[in-house]
Structure 1
Amino acid sequence: MLSILFYVIKEYYVMPKNITIQKIIGVLLHRLKFILLATLLAGILFFLYSKFIITPMYNTSAMIYVQNYNGDSASNKDNNKIYSSDIIGSSNLAKICVTLFQNSDEITSLYNDCSVNISVNEQTFFITINVSGDDPQKCANVANQVADQCKTVFDKYLKYGTIGGIREAKVPTRPYEPNNLKNSLLGLLVGLVASCVIAILLELIDTTIKADDDIQEIYGLPVFAEIPDFETQGR
């Protein structure tokens, strides 16, 4: 497609035969004002789109723990201490619980149009309930409700081990997206690239003669003399 485009431009417009880096830089400097204005405009448009069009998204999380008690540490349940002998068993139990919680209708019914991710921290027995949505208060409510329901589901389906809360979800004060600064910089970059490409294309399809060197470059004819423009010089 690009080869066809360049062929059409070459056939219907007179293109310079030797385009150098110096000439491209000269073209960009010649249209520097246009490039700067277009770049700034694109940055402003991207910022306005990010600020007023994209829906802000918030994120919060709650954390619970699952502990497995074996025969050697059955008394741990009385003092609520975590011993090293329980870590491997508790980690395996946490993975089982995550699968159970992710497929429990009693828990998934609480999502309330929020994006919820229940995962176990690697090599631990801590389970994180991560909630994202466009309403910060709703996200916090869903995270805490899911954490409480996890305890109910755990007690309902499992007859060993214990579950408890570590951290409640708080209402997020700032959205994690959109990133206005990042989108503005992206707009500036897009505007810069697009304006440079447009400036170069405009120069390529411009068939007007601006200097005597253009005649020799475009048509391959040497220039022996030049007739000055007396009207322009007389002003």
Structure 2
Amino acid sequence: MENQAINQPEAQIAQRQNDDDVIDLVELFYVLWGHAWQIILCLIAGAAIAFAYTYFLVTPLYKATSSIYIVSASNNSVVNLTDLQIGAQLTADYQELMLSRPLLEDVIKNLDLDMSTSVLSSMISITNTSDTRILKITVTSPDPQESADIANELVNQACIYLPDIMETDEPNLVEEAIPPAYKASPSYAKNLVLGGLVGAVLCCGVLVLRYLMNDTFVTPDDVTRYLGVQPLAVIPEADLGEFNQEDKKGRLLKRKGAK
């Protein structure tokens, strides 16, 4: 019996400690709901900051695309199955060789570009449509005309340079690049939504952190829940108005008289 009496308080203390470690999701929801206006303001502020950053600091980029068809015919005859298989293998070689340094240097020289081959290479994207021998050359640049010129010149140099290196037929031009009328990036709508979400999430994170770090008792129920003690009375906090001011004046006069 004595052991049970001793263990009972310890069990209650352990139970209360476990309760302290549990987050009340309902209470947390009401905490966030009570600060809904702050969350909305942070959402609007985040969206406004993202829009301003995108509009004033991000350079618009344009994409122009040209495409070529890899040809492989034996003795200029009708293309057979073997030629198709060889053409499919040549496609991967074309993707690699079109970004080679000599070819890019010729593009820079012919267009009089003020950039290095590494910078030019980073602007170029070469993709192969699935199950085809068509290569799409896409160039991204802040200048729409420049992006089209680079894509077209790259195809022209590839038609001259690569057949000699690979000893194959010259690829056929499928589509010539034209200057794009609309920018490819950035997306104002996307950045606006992301900025608003980031602002709202940061605000919610601060509110949740404040809720978890707050160990003060706000209501009598908090005393009962965390300490296991039922409060006998609650002293309300109120402003006594003129009585409170007169009491302060009386105490000041007493202090002056004592001096």
Normalising by structure 1, what TM-score? 0.74
2:163 and 2:169 in contact (8 A); partners too? no
The Cα of 1:189 is off from its aligned counterpart by: 1.9
Alignment partner of 1:50 is 2:54: yes
- Residues 56 and 232 (structure 1), Cα distance of their counterparts in 2 relative to 1, 3 Å cut: farther
1:63-74 to 2 correspondences below 5 Å? 63-71=67-75, 74=76
Structure 2 residue corresponding to 1:196, chosen from 198, 201, 204: 204
Percent identity, please: 24
Structure 2 residue corresponding to 1:95, chosen from 67, 81, 92: 92
| Greater alpha carbon shift after TM alignment, 35-44 vs 158-167 | 158-167
2:47 and 2:192 in contact (8 A); partners too? yes
Gaps of 5+ in 1: 1-15, 77-81
- Name the CA distance, whole Å, in 2 between partners of 1:106 and 1:228: 84
- Name the CA distance, whole Å, in 2 between partners of 1:198 and 1:159: 65
Over residues 68-94 of structure 1, what are the superposed CA-to-partner deviations in whole Å (9 max), with x where a residue is unaligned? 2214xx355xxxxx6767433333334
The match for 2:171 is: 163
SS at match of 1:67: coil
- Name the CA distance, whole Å, in 1 between partners of 2:87 and 2:48: 53
- Residues 200 and 67 (structure 1), Cα distance of their counterparts in 2 relative to 1, 3 Å cut: closer
In terms of fraction of residues, the more helix-rich structure is: 2
Alignment partner of 1:38 is 2:37: no
1:18-167 to 2 correspondences below 5 Å? 19-71=23-75, 74-75=76-77, 86-103=83-100, 105-110=102-107, 112=113, 113-114=119-120, 115-167=123-175
2:71 and 2:169 in contact (8 A); partners too? yes
Specify the code of the residue in structure 1 equivalent to 2:55: K
1:60 and 1:130 in contact (8 A); partners too? yes
Root-mean-square deviation (Å): 3.0
SS at match of 2:45: helix
- Name the CA distance, whole Å, in 2 between partners of 1:207 and 1:232: 28
SS at match of 1:63: strand
The Cα of 1:166 is off from its aligned counterpart by: 1.3
- Residues 65 and 213 (structure 1), Cα distance of their counterparts in 2 relative to 1, 3 Å cut: same
Q: Please identify the structure whose Cα radius of gyration is greater.
A: 2
- Name the CA distance, whole Å, in 2 between partners of 1:95 and 1:209: 70
The Cα of 1:192 is off from its aligned counterpart by: 2.0
- Residues 98 and 225 (structure 1), Cα distance of their counterparts in 2 relative to 1, 3 Å cut: closer
2:28 and 2:211 in contact (8 A); partners too? no
- Name the CA distance, whole Å, in 2 between partners of 1:138 and 1:193: 40
- Residues 167 and 57 (structure 1), Cα distance of their counterparts in 2 relative to 1, 3 Å cut: same
1:102 and 1:108 in contact (8 A); partners too? no
SS at match of 1:64: strand
- Name the CA distance, whole Å, in 2 between partners of 1:102 and 1:147: 11
Specify the code of the residue in structure 2 equivalent to 1:128: K
- Name the CA distance, whole Å, in 1 between partners of 2:97 and 2:215: 72
- Name the CA distance, whole Å, in 2 between partners of 1:154 and 1:212: 83
